[in-house]
Structure 1
C-alpha cells in the first residue's frame, strides 16, 4: 500500500517580514524559504499574538516559533530591552531536543546583537543557552550568570535551577512550549504549569504539538490569551509530510528480520531509522542487523545519556546509516536527510505513528515510511488507519520472497539478507545489553532445566 502527497510552493522569510539580520543568518545556512507551519505562524507571531501550532515533527516548528521569538526580542518596541536577563524561554521534553533547538536558534541569531555598557553604546552577541539534566550544574549556571537572552530547557532542570534562585524566569516575555503532547506523556504537565506561572503575565505564549489531547487544550485555556490555532496540514488525513511515501503491509514475525534486511538494500536508501516498541526489541533488532553486516547503532532507555549521544553522533556524521530506536529515545534525532523510517512493529497509537514517520520527508527532502504489521497486530493498525483516515485498513500480506514485495522495493529476485561480515553495534555495549540479558537468562534456565533432568535421572538410578 502506497500513499503520496504533493509539496506546494513556499514564500521567503524576507517576504514574510522577518528582520534582515535573521534572514541573512538563515541564508548563510542555505535556508531562505519557509515551510507551511512557518508561513502560517510568522505573520501572527511577529505581531505578538498567542498561538497554537499543530504540526508533527519535521514540519519546521523550530523556526516557526524561533524566528518570531528572535525577531521580537531583537527589535520589538513592546519587548523590554535586552540586558542579560532571560527574555525568551523554550520548554522542551528531552535533552536531545533541547540541544537541537538551541543549536537552531543559535544559528538563526548569529547576526543579532544586544546593547551593553552604561550608555548602551557597545554591543555583544545575542546569547542562547541550553539547560538540561544529566550533567553538572556549573557550566549552565555560569552561562546564566554571564547573562543570556534565550533559554531552551527541559522542565526538571529549569525548575531545579529556579528553586535554587539560580534562574530568574520572571522577565520572560516570549514563552514557547515545544512538543507539548510529549511533555504530557512524560508526566511533565505539572512542572510546565509551575514554570509558566513564574513568567511575566504579559508574555506572548506559543504552544506547538503534533496532537491536542484534552489536558493540553485545558492548558491553553488557562495560560494563553485568545490564542490563534494554525495547522501545517490540511486535514488529519494528511498525516505525512508532503513528500513522504507510506508503505504498509502485513509481515509475519518469523520472516521479519529478512524483510527488514532486504528493505535496507533498497536502491538509493540513505540514513534510516528503525523503530521498535521496547528496549529489548531495539537491542535484538540492532544485534541481528549488525550480524548481517549492516552499519547500525541503537538508542533506547537502557543506555546512559553519554552512550546514547555517542550513538546519535555516529548517525549524524554517517559512521552508521541505520539507527534502531525506541520512541522516547528517538526524540532529538533531528537529521534532515533521513530517507527511510521503518516501523518494525506497529506503533502504540496514531500519535506515535505520526511522530515516527515525521522523521523522514523533512526540510523539502523526499522520504519513505514503511510499517510492518504483524498478523496479530492488524486490529491495532486498523485503529490507527481509522483515526487518521488513511483508507487502508487491510494491508496486503507479503513475505521476503513475495514478488510484490520485491517489486515494491525494486529488489532483485536473488537478494539475500547478508550484506557483509558481522560487525558490532555502534555506540556502546549497553546498546545490546537487554538482548544479552534475555539471552543469558534463557541459557541459564535451559542449563538449570537440563541439570535438573540429570539429577532426576541419577536419583532414579
Structure 2
C-alpha cells in the first residue's frame, strides 16, 4: 500500500465513500485513484458487478476493499437468513489463491477500514488452525482467505455463506493455474444468487476461462481493462545469456558479484534447484534464502518481511512467488531457469521496474530450458537482447556446498497436515496433482 503508483485525476474523496473509510484513506496518505481504481470503484459503488484486468501492485486491492466495506457500512444486513446455532455469518467473502496474498489483502483491509468498526478475519492453510477457527466462530463481517481452509471450516459448520452481500475473487487466473476452480464453484454455489450480491473479479488476464467463470457466477459484469495496469516488459532492461549447464552456476555467481544485489529475485523451476542455489550462494558469501510452496507459513512470512526490509538481499523462488506478492523496489530479477510457460516469464520479470522505477531482468538460457525462449519472445513481441558471456564474467573460485541429505520417501517429516490447507489435502485430492496446490 505504500508503493508510489501512477495516479489519475480522480480524487478518492469525490466518490461518495463512507466518512469512516475516508478517515482511513486520509491517514494512509492516499488522495487520487490509480487507473484500475478510477475505472472500477465508481461502478462497484453503484452496485454494478466488475470483472477487472489488473496486475498485483496496481491498487486493485484497495479498489475492491473500499467497494466492499462501503457496501457493508451503507446497507443494513439482510435479516431474512438466520445462521444455524453457533455458526458465524459473514457478510462479505474475499478469495485469494495464496496465503501471502490473503494476508496482504487483510493487512490492507485493516488500514483502510481502521475506523469502520467492521470485524475482519483472514483464514489460510499452514498455520493457526484452531486460532482462526475460534476467531471465525466469534463472528466476522469481512472474511478473507484461501479456498481450502475456508471450505474446511464451512464443512464443519463454523460459518455459513447464506448472508453474503459481497463476493470478491482475486487473481482468478491463478486460481485456475493452482487447480482451485472446483473449490471456487463450491463456495459460490452456497451463496445467495448473483443478483442478490455485489460481485467483483480481478485477474491478470481476462481469458476465455476466466470470463466463463465471471458470467457463470456474476450478474452482468462490467469488463474493465486498464492498459497502464499491465506489465510493460519493454520498460524492463532484459538480457539473455546462452550458457551450458556446466557453466551456468559460475556465470550466475559472476554476474551477481558484478551488481549490487540489494533486492534480487531469482526464479527457478523446481524446489530442489532453489535449495541448491540457496546453499551455493550462502557458501560463496551471498546471503540468500528459498521461498517455495512447502516452506512453513511462519517462515514464509518472515522471509518476505526480511526481503522487503532489505535484511535479506537475495530471494530464490519457485513460481509461487511470481504472482500475488507485492514486493516493492526489486532491482534485479534472474531467471536462473527459463520458465516453460511464456506467460510466467512476464509475471516473473514484472516483479521489477514497478510504478515507473527501473529494473533489470537477466535470463540464463541453458541446454535444458533454452527451448522455451522462442515462445517467450513471441509472447512479449520482441527479441530479447542476447549476450555471450565474457571470460571475466565467470566466477572461477566459487565454492561447491555439500549436498543436502534427501528426505526419506513416504512423506514429510512429522506427518500430519503438511500441505498447508488445514489438513484437507490428505482427505481430498480429487484426482488432481498435489503439487499444484502447494500455494494454498
| Paired residue secondary structure (2:319) | coil
Q: 1:32 to 1:260 in 2, by over 3 A?
A: farther
For residues 388 and 211 of structure 1, the distance between their equivalents in structure 2, rounded to whole angstroms, comes to 14
For residues 54 and 342 of structure 2, the distance between their equivalents in structure 1, rounded to whole angstroms, comes to 14
- Residue by residue, what CA displacement relative to the aligned partner does 1:313-338 show, whole Å, maximum 9, x if unpaired? 33234321110000125555432232
For residues 438 and 219 of structure 1, the distance between their equivalents in structure 2, rounded to whole angstroms, comes to 41
Q: Which residue number corresponds to residue 348 of structure 2?
A: 356
For residues 62 and 417 of structure 1, the distance between their equivalents in structure 2, rounded to whole angstroms, comes to 46
For residues 20 and 127 of structure 1, the distance between their equivalents in structure 2, rounded to whole angstroms, comes to 17
Out of 166, 190, 198, the residue aligned to residue 198 of structure 1 is: 190
What count of residue pairs does the alignment treat as equivalent? 394
Q: Which residue number corresponds to residue 387 of structure 2?
A: 397
- Give, in angstroms, the shift of residue 292 of structure 1: 1.9
For residues 154 and 74 of structure 1, the distance between their equivalents in structure 2, rounded to whole angstroms, comes to 24
Out of 283, 287, 306, the residue aligned to residue 314 of structure 1 is: 306
Structure with greater Cα Rg = 1
Q: Is the Cα contact below 8 Å between 1:14 and 1:20 reproduced in 2?
A: no
| Paired residue secondary structure (2:327) | coil
Question: Which residues of 2 match residues 2-401 of structure 1 at below 5 A?
Answer: 11-75=10-74, 77=75, 80=78, 85-112=89-116, 125-201=117-193, 202-233=196-227, 239-240=231-232, 244-252=235-243, 253-265=245-257, 269-328=261-320, 333-362=325-354, 365-374=357-366, 377-389=369-381, 391-392=382-383, 395-399=385-389, 401=391
- Give, in angstroms, the shift of residue 168 of structure 1: 1.3
- Larger mean CA deviation between 171-180 and 256-265 belongs to 256-265
Q: 1:354 to 1:64 in 2, by over 3 A?
A: farther
Q: Which residue number corresponds to residue 404 of structure 2?
A: 436
Instruction: Provide the TM-score with structure 1 as the length reference.
Output: 0.76
For residues 35 and 368 of structure 1, the distance between their equivalents in structure 2, rounded to whole angstroms, comes to 24
Q: 1:248 to 1:305 in 2, by over 3 A?
A: same
Q: Which runs of no fewer than 5 residues in structure 2 stay unpaired?
A: 83-87, 409-440
Instruction: Provide the TM-score with structure 2 as the length reference.
Output: 0.79
For residues 15 and 237 of structure 2, the distance between their equivalents in structure 1, rounded to whole angstroms, comes to 32
Q: Is the Cα contact below 8 Å between 2:332 and 2:352 reproduced in 1?
A: yes
Q: Which runs of no fewer than 5 residues in structure 1 stay unpaired?
A: 1-5, 113-124, 407-414, 425-431, 441-461
| Paired residue secondary structure (1:341) | strand
Q: 1:70 to 1:302 in 2, by over 3 A?
A: closer
| Paired residue secondary structure (2:286) | coil
Q: 1:19 to 1:267 in 2, by over 3 A?
A: farther
- Give, in angstroms, the shift of residue 438 of structure 1: 6.6
For residues 250 and 382 of structure 1, the distance between their equivalents in structure 2, rounded to whole angstroms, comes to 14
Q: Is the Cα contact below 8 Å between 1:10 and 1:33 reproduced in 2?
A: yes
Q: 1:380 to 1:290 in 2, by over 3 A?
A: same
Q: 1:127 to 1:280 in 2, by over 3 A?
A: same
For residues 60 and 265 of structure 1, the distance between their equivalents in structure 2, rounded to whole angstroms, comes to 35
For residues 417 and 231 of structure 1, the distance between their equivalents in structure 2, rounded to whole angstroms, comes to 49
| Paired residue secondary structure (1:250) | strand
Q: 1:350 to 1:58 in 2, by over 3 A?
A: farther
Q: Is the Cα contact below 8 Å between 1:273 and 1:322 reproduced in 2?
A: yes
- Give, in angstroms, the shift of residue 363 of structure 1: 5.1
For residues 140 and 101 of structure 2, the distance between their equivalents in structure 1, rounded to whole angstroms, comes to 19
- Give, in angstroms, the shift of residue 17 of structure 1: 4.2
- Larger mean CA deviation between 262-271 and 145-154 belongs to 262-271
For residues 380 and 423 of structure 1, the distance between their equivalents in structure 2, rounded to whole angstroms, comes to 28
For residues 69 and 255 of structure 2, the distance between their equivalents in structure 1, rounded to whole angstroms, comes to 42
CA RMSD after TM alignment: 3.3
- Give, in angstroms, the shift of residue 8 of structure 1: 6.8
